[in-house]
Structure 1
Amino acid sequence: MTLTTTRPPRLHRAWFVAAVAFVAILGAAGFRATPGVLITPLQEEFGWSKGTISAAVSINLVLYGLTAPFAAALMDRFGMRRMVSLALLLVAAGSGLTVLMTASWQLWLCWGVLVGLGTGSMALVFVATVTDRWFVRHRGLVTGVLTAAGATGQLIFLPVLAQLAAGPGWRAASLTVTGGALIVVPLVWWLMRDRPEDVGTTALGAEPAISDVSEDAGRTAAVSAGRVEAARVNAAVRAVGVLRSAAGTRAFWYLVGGFAICGASTNGLVGTHFIPAAHDHGMAEPVAAGLLAVIGVFDIVGTVASGWLSDRVDPKVLLGVYYGLRGLSLMILPSLFAESAHPSMLVFIVFYGLDWVATVPPTVALCRRIFGSDGSVVFGWVFASHQIGAAFAAVGAGLTRDHLGAYDLAWFVSGGLCILASGMSLAIGHARGR
């Protein structure tokens, strides 16, 4: 009798790719969150106004958003491994060079342009590219986990960077970001691969490839290669063409307007100015950064729950509720600031965390429902509006603080805009062109 041994199944290469993508996205979220920690230290050392410093954040947010629709085309043309490695090097350079700066335009160049382009290349479209190429089974699960990496990055980085800025100084915080980005580059280059075919496998859950090299197989491979090459050539053209088509519908502009306000009320206002606003009321910066990190924890819960609800409730109704409640909470926030994190502020933090990215699943669902096969590209442009709105809010809130001596007007205006976004969301028609 012959005894046979069964080898345990090897872990599919897709999981290594997903793990590296998680680390890169996690880091990108932390890199983008850093300016909120640095506003007060930079103002104290260089005497720059909050409006001047916020302008660097605005440039960062605009480039982060505008890079997103074209990131997939760049990855098709040059490959994920090259693009993500280059993106991390840009982040490392942008953060590291700030320790040498002496003028505000250098901050705009480093944190605005270099870090903005770098993090923009690791935006949500990177998540879509990884999951589409490497996963058939577990695609939804991996998408959710990689999306949540953004909140996890905020959770990990903010308290650490705030402690560094308050102790050794803001330069130590910037160099920590540089080191973090550089550490990830070898992992990306070693473990990331552009497509399963590059390592002789198939996507997780896909049918195994047939090894018979026949004439038909060769012809099929040639056709497939032709399609890949066409995608490389036409991806950017398609992105612009989809924008031109979608821009002729009211639904697109309602989605763009609502998501621009979403960005203004989250990344642009709370993400950038919550820490300095709390500091204005006597709260220590590490404590305020810790509160933002708690937002990151509940952000994960809120995003998963919102995705579940989007399959069961009309997405436009969800958006209307989310924006409306967010607007009311922002109008209450000015009365909650104090020297310590009292219970009422903690309630706001938990609620705001649940609502932070809850708008993404219903927005994606509406893009898919209204624009069909173009839905993902349309969402790329809608996401760009999110970052443009965030940029305006970042600089606008800084100027408000400079001229009025307080942030109160910024909170009230943002709250009112969220109420407007609620109305626009409820007015969205589900038929294309409405």
Structure 2
Amino acid sequence: MQTTTHETSPDPRSPVRPHRAWLVALVAGLVITGAAAFATMPGLLTDPLQTEYHWSRAGIGLAASVNMVVYGLVAPFAAAWMDRFGLRRVALVALLLVAVGAALTTLMSQAWQFTLYWGLLVGAGAGSLSMTFAATVAQRWFVERRGLVVGALTGASAFGQMVFLPALAWVVDHHSWRPAVVTLALTAVVLAVLAASVLRDHPADVGLRPYGAAGPVARPAPERGAVARTLRVLSTSVRDRRFWLLAATFAVCGATTNGLLWTHFVPAAQDQGMAVTVAAALVSAVGVFSLVGTVASGWLSDRIDPRWLLSAYYSGRAVLLAVLPLVLGPEAGPAMVAFVVLFGLLDVATVPPTILLARRMFGADGAVVFGWVNAVHQVGAGAMAVTGGLVRDVGGGYGPVWLLAATLCVLAASASLRLGRSNR
């Protein structure tokens, strides 16, 4: 029988000894950061794969689309698996899938293999370490500062772009794409070792209470039938109008970030004569400001109605995407820099209010519900990834795609206000 020492655990807010929750959150953030680097890699691979294999952009975009859809569909099941098997085990299996998928990608010779290795394996692994992972860590280890932690952990996804993308772009530009993919695979292995050493499933496992908890909190019993529970939550939530409104707005979020900016900005900038390293640096800068914007959004989500925050974020994003064709050119001028800063502040800022709304509206099932909402987010991302490639192949440019994305953001801003006041 496992014993704990709740009664003798130190004050979780002790100024002398920081609560272990912050160390767990830090390592979780590093894991999310590493997994996020894989999301932006297809944008760097488009031109090299087209040159080496003569694949169409639509075909390459299909692999990116499958990656995004699998990423999203795995997330709700991953949330339930974490309840059944624990955070640490799920993280280790996910990182192993990512490493294997990336390594196999370097050996491929057919387009279907790219879809299998990068689309399915990397997508499943990275999806298990997505925002539902962040939500579960915050929910188990924090009572106070939960919104802030959710913001920081989801911001770690954008931070992953900032850390890896410029270096990966340089490697692709100077040494081909394979060394860059191998670098990511090795990073996943290192993160797996770190996660095994530090991550724990619940504060009770180390005799602590969650940060900010007034008293001891027992570890919940493992949830049996993870798949059945996940499907049961879906069956219940789809009958709620608020679920579809929340999912629709988040689908627009995915379409305009993962599906469009992260996948097509680099090739679109190259079409305008911009160097790949400069374009990658701009996307990286979006990641810098995404981290700032998401942490700020988490702080605001604890204080302001999340519906109003979402509406403001989507409205701002609509304006920026509408003007992007006017500022995108061969040089990164002041207008382009301003776009990067502002879009970065809004890029992942939608996540904390969306997570908190799911939690407040659906209670204990909020993490799983958000997993399904996130699945719709990735469906939107995948659809836009393919659409962008098709428009570029047929029309020779990305202009119409930016305007389509702006229109979708206007609709999302309106839908956010129709979610109705959530019940705590």
What is the TM-score when the length of structure 2 is the normalising length? Answer: 0.89
Shift of 1:9: 5.8
Deviates more, 1:331-340 or 1:365-374: 365-374
Q: Which residue does 2:262 correspond to in 1?
A: 271
Shift of 1:300: 1.8
Shift of 1:177: 0.6
Shift of 1:228: 0.6
Contact in 1 for aligned 2:148/2:295 (Cα 8 Å): no
Q: Which segments of 5 or more consecutive residues in structure 1 lack a partner in the other structure?
A: 1-7, 210-220
Equivalent in 245, 253, 266 of residue 244 of structure 2: 253
Question: Is 1:348 matched with 2:355?
Answer: no
Q: What CA distance in whole angstroms lies between the structure 2 residues aligned with 1:279 and 1:167?
A: 16
Equivalent in 196, 204, 221 of residue 228 of structure 1: 221
Question: Is 1:98 matched with 2:91?
Answer: no
Q: Which residue does 2:272 correspond to in 1?
A: 281
Q: Which residue does 1:408 correspond to in 2?
A: 399
Q: What CA distance in whole angstroms lies between the structure 2 residues aligned with 1:422 and 1:129?
A: 27
Q: Which residue does 2:6 correspond to in 1?
A: none
Q: What CA distance in whole angstroms lies between the structure 2 residues aligned with 1:152 and 1:30?
A: 9
Q: Which residue does 1:358 correspond to in 2?
A: 349
Question: Is 1:388 matched with 2:388?
Answer: no
Question: Is 1:298 matched with 2:289?
Answer: yes
Q: What CA distance in whole angstroms lies between the structure 2 residues aligned with 1:352 and 1:63?
A: 26
Question: Is 1:430 matched with 2:416?
Answer: no
Identity of aligned residues (%): 51
What CA deviation, in whole Å up to 9, does each residue of 1:143-187 have, x standing for no partner?
333222112111001101000000001011111111111112222
Change (3 A) 1:431 1:134: closer
Q: What CA distance in whole angstroms lies between the structure 1 residues aligned with 2:244 and 2:147?
A: 28
Structure with greater Cα Rg: 1
Q: What CA distance in whole angstroms lies between the structure 1 residues aligned with 2:292 and 2:78?
A: 28
Question: Is 1:159 matched with 2:166?
Answer: yes
Contact in 2 for aligned 1:92/1:178 (Cα 8 Å): yes
Q: How does 1:315-334 map to 2 (within 5 A)?
A: 315-334=306-325
Alignment-mate amino acid for residue 55 of structure 1: L
What CA deviation, in whole Å up to 9, does each residue of 1:95-132 have, x standing for no partner?
11111111001100111011001101111221222233
What CA deviation, in whole Å up to 9, does each residue of 1:406-426 have, x standing for no partner?
111111111111112222223
Q: Which residue does 2:80 correspond to in 1?
A: 73
Q: Which residue does 2:177 correspond to in 1?
A: 170
Question: Is 1:144 matched with 2:177?
Answer: no
Change (3 A) 1:178 1:259: same
Contact in 1 for aligned 2:255/2:383 (Cα 8 Å): yes
Q: What CA distance in whole angstroms lies between the structure 2 residues aligned with 1:249 and 1:315?
A: 18
Shift of 1:138: 4.7
Alignment-mate amino acid for residue 221 of structure 2: V
Shift of 1:203: 3.9
Shift of 1:28: 0.7
Change (3 A) 1:426 1:207: closer
Q: What CA distance in whole angstroms lies between the structure 2 residues aligned with 1:330 and 1:168?
A: 33
What is the TM-score when the length of structure 1 is the normalising length? Answer: 0.87
Shift of 1:270: 0.6
Q: What CA distance in whole angstroms lies between the structure 2 residues aligned with 1:132 and 1:28?
A: 21
Change (3 A) 1:207 1:336: closer
RMSD of Structure 2 on Structure 1 (CA)? 2.3
Q: What CA distance in whole angstroms lies between the structure 1 residues aligned with 2:73 and 2:164?
A: 25
